[in-house]
Structure 1
């Protein structure tokens, strides 16, 4: 775990956050590792998620009903955004005025430190006129009614706001009559939509709802894949709540343990709901499924096979048109000389000139990452007098056979005439360039001064 946690920390943005799902058996050790990697000061919460309301029958003494999620921030500039209100919470917003739906929240302080002596500066009179409905800090008319913060037992309490805050927010106050005490009290109008944003609530450290259970997660997975293909998938709703709480529309989400593909599914589902453009990267080793399992019998030979199909099916179900790419790490071609700087008579060559189109594309993808490009960043095919090269903003790759004088002339012409074409590095696949063409290319670059005065570096790779 330590190497992955370290890599995770390096990959996180400064305002990033990580959620790590774990069970009873490993949570203590994981907490120690995370404290070391992320720092104790960046610990946010050890969440408990009830994923089996009835409790697991295989537990010896106590029926385990929950799992954990450790939450760490990269730095203290991380900001929690809160989660969407549930149906019960939305019902509280049953009042409405010209500003929209709202709920009432008492202005009097509740709970601890709610007595007058606890916060004496928060004990002061507020005045209300029954005829004009005006609320103020000053008694303006003789019949203005004085309202003071009273505890439920009649003792003096205190307000939640000081006088300055009250003056700034006085338009959001309304008066209510408390029949039990035969006196007026004040409520704040808390609007469902403020400044164009819908009200949210804090993500709690304890998640208890049937939507978070393994049964619900299995049911959701069963809607797109055969039942019992994957045991104990993660809750789609749990991951969505993590995303809602911690990501903005264009953020990238990385999952080191893709499993059944819940994270990718959650990202696509949330984008479909709120129009976001979040992107996901999910990592899954090709772990083999048990040859006696339902997954194996259904043709899923590895966990990755399940991950891939779920992402495809969920994408179809959600009508997600953004698509996704699959990259696989594989051993390099037998005999590939990845650290070769120059050839000599004793060098044993692999058959690079016999690579298929797909194999050349694999090699090209490897090289572009080596040269600092992103995996998903596309290379642009460029026609050079019938020869096709592949370029990024500053690197041009010559992978195929058939490079000739006409291609060289076309390259030089494009370099001079195309204002947007400014490569600084040329990479040749040595097996498809004989020594004559390599020499001609090198001499042309040395002897020709392009109009843009760009210094070109030519590299031959084998």
Structure 2
């Protein structure tokens, strides 16, 4: 766990955050480990997650909760976890941005005259405040809301995606909700987390508009709840978050549970979905095939993963053989990408044609395996 968390810290964005779910048995050990790796000053929260309620079979105390430790990479760069404010005013849309109208913002200013009527501003607050409000009405910061008494209340426009509430340290998300979700998706898995929990946490870390393109990594993917939650959240708030899920394939969990779940939600939540298997290539072997040739056998998946594309032979082409060059140049579409195996020579005329088409040329496998090939003397 120590080495895995060290790597996780390196992968974290400077403004990033990590969530770690744990039960009573290992809470203290994990807390000390995280304090050492991430620094206790970067501890954002220790959530108590209520996961069950009602009776149980325990002889002593029924355990109905887990914990979620939260650490920022740098607490000074990290924006606090935020959630949607409990809105009590009317919601309006202006220039495709949603606002809510706060009607009571002048209440403190008016004291006992708490109705905040525009017509009374000059009388009770003077010309300076009246001028400020008129300027706000002119630039769209304020609006007038007619009331039944014939007067108007001054409402203040507040952006929904900029206005937030803080998190409370106790969250309630029952495990049975997660089990019911998988049942509906016809996938079997023991003790899945409810997507509502992951969605609340991811939403909290990416609430503001400049965070809605975050990459969410889960290296204990299990039943794929994180991927499901991220796509639900994108649909709800128009975000463009991406997820990466990692798991072993013990008992075929990756193929039959994680992948299958995300495949089954494609109609409801369509998105790009692929899974990849990792494989190790020995540095030295008795085979005549070079390391470079072996790596080329797996290059397609790396390209698709990095660029989030499908090698389709039109917009994106992998060129393994010089004899295929002319055909590739004629077939490739404008603004495409041509991944060229090292050793294949492109003439000036070839390069000019590709340049006119706006095609990017990327040399492989050096782009992905430069250091590895240097290590075995093939570069």
TM-score (norm 1): 0.58
Q: Does the 8 A contact of 2:299 with 2:365 survive in 1?
A: no
Q: CA deviation at 1:277?
A: 1.2
* Residue correspondences, number: 331
Cα displacement string for residues 327-346 of structure 1 (whole angstroms, at most 9, x for unaligned residues)? 111243xxx5x36xxxxxxx
Cα displacement string for residues 261-312 of structure 1 (whole angstroms, at most 9, x for unaligned residues)? 0000001111122222110001101223xxxxxxxxxxxx435531110111
Residue 55 of structure 2 corresponds to residue 67 of structure 1 = no
Q: Does the 8 A contact of 2:230 with 2:241 survive in 1?
A: yes
Choose which of 155, 159, 171 in structure 2 pairs with 1:207: 171
Pair 132,395 (structure 1): closer, same or farther in 2 beyond 3 Å: closer
SS in 2 for 1:414: helix
Residue 274 of structure 2 corresponds to residue 274 of structure 1 = no
Residue 266 of structure 2 corresponds to residue 315 of structure 1 = yes
Q: Does the 8 A contact of 1:268 with 1:315 survive in 2?
A: no
Choose which of 290, 293, 306 in structure 2 pairs with 1:374: 306
Match runs of 1:41-440 below 5 Å? 41-54=41-54, 57-75=56-74, 76-80=76-80, 82-84=82-84, 89-90=86-87, 92-93=88-89, 101-102=101-102, 104=104, 133-135=119-121, 194-195=158-159, 197=161, 199-208=163-172, 212-226=173-187, 229-247=188-206, 248-288=211-251, 301-302=252-253, 304-318=255-269, 320=270, 322-332=271-281, 338=283, 348-350=286-288, 360-362=296-298, 365=301, 374=306, 376=308, 380-382=317-319, 384-387=322-325, 396-397=340-341, 408=345, 411=347, 413-415=349-351, 418-419=354-355
Q: Which has the larger radius of gyration?
A: 1
Q: CA deviation at 1:365?
A: 4.8
Q: CA deviation at 1:37?
A: 0.8
In the alignment, the residues of structure 1 paired with residue 167 and residue 43 of structure 2 have an alpha-carbon distance, to the nearest angstrom, of 15
SS in 1 for 2:265: helix
Match runs of 1:24-35 below 5 Å? 24-35=24-35
Which structure: greater helix fraction? 2
Name the structure 2 match of 1:3. Answer: 3
In the alignment, the residues of structure 1 paired with residue 254 and residue 365 of structure 2 have an alpha-carbon distance, to the nearest angstrom, of 37
Q: Does the 8 A contact of 2:175 with 2:194 survive in 1?
A: yes
In the alignment, the residues of structure 1 paired with residue 203 and residue 158 of structure 2 have an alpha-carbon distance, to the nearest angstrom, of 18
Cα displacement string for residues 399-456 of structure 1 (whole angstroms, at most 9, x for unaligned residues)? xxxx9xxx75x5454246543678685659xxxxxxxxxxxxxxxxxxxxxxxxxxxx
Pair 94,262 (structure 1): closer, same or farther in 2 beyond 3 Å: same
Pair 2,426 (structure 1): closer, same or farther in 2 beyond 3 Å: closer
Q: CA deviation at 1:237?
A: 0.6
In the alignment, the residues of structure 1 paired with residue 115 and residue 227 of structure 2 have an alpha-carbon distance, to the nearest angstrom, of 57
Residue 3 of structure 2 corresponds to residue 40 of structure 1 = no
In the alignment, the residues of structure 2 paired with residue 307 and residue 131 of structure 1 have an alpha-carbon distance, to the nearest angstrom, of 57
In the alignment, the residues of structure 2 paired with residue 217 and residue 128 of structure 1 have an alpha-carbon distance, to the nearest angstrom, of 47
SS in 1 for 2:25: coil
SS in 2 for 1:381: strand
Q: Does the 8 A contact of 2:118 with 2:154 survive in 1?
A: no
Q: CA deviation at 1:386?
A: 2.6
SS in 2 for 1:280: strand
Q: Does the 8 A contact of 1:389 with 1:397 survive in 2?
A: no
In the alignment, the residues of structure 2 paired with residue 236 and residue 130 of structure 1 have an alpha-carbon distance, to the nearest angstrom, of 43
In the alignment, the residues of structure 2 paired with residue 62 and residue 415 of structure 1 have an alpha-carbon distance, to the nearest angstrom, of 73
Q: Does the 8 A contact of 1:15 with 1:77 survive in 2?
A: yes
SS in 2 for 1:44: strand
Q: CA deviation at 1:33?
A: 0.7
Pair 278,231 (structure 1): closer, same or farther in 2 beyond 3 Å: same
In the alignment, the residues of structure 2 paired with residue 203 and residue 129 of structure 1 have an alpha-carbon distance, to the nearest angstrom, of 31
In the alignment, the residues of structure 2 paired with residue 5 and residue 307 of structure 1 have an alpha-carbon distance, to the nearest angstrom, of 22
TM-score (norm 2): 0.69
In the alignment, the residues of structure 1 paired with residue 100 and residue 360 of structure 2 have an alpha-carbon distance, to the nearest angstrom, of 55
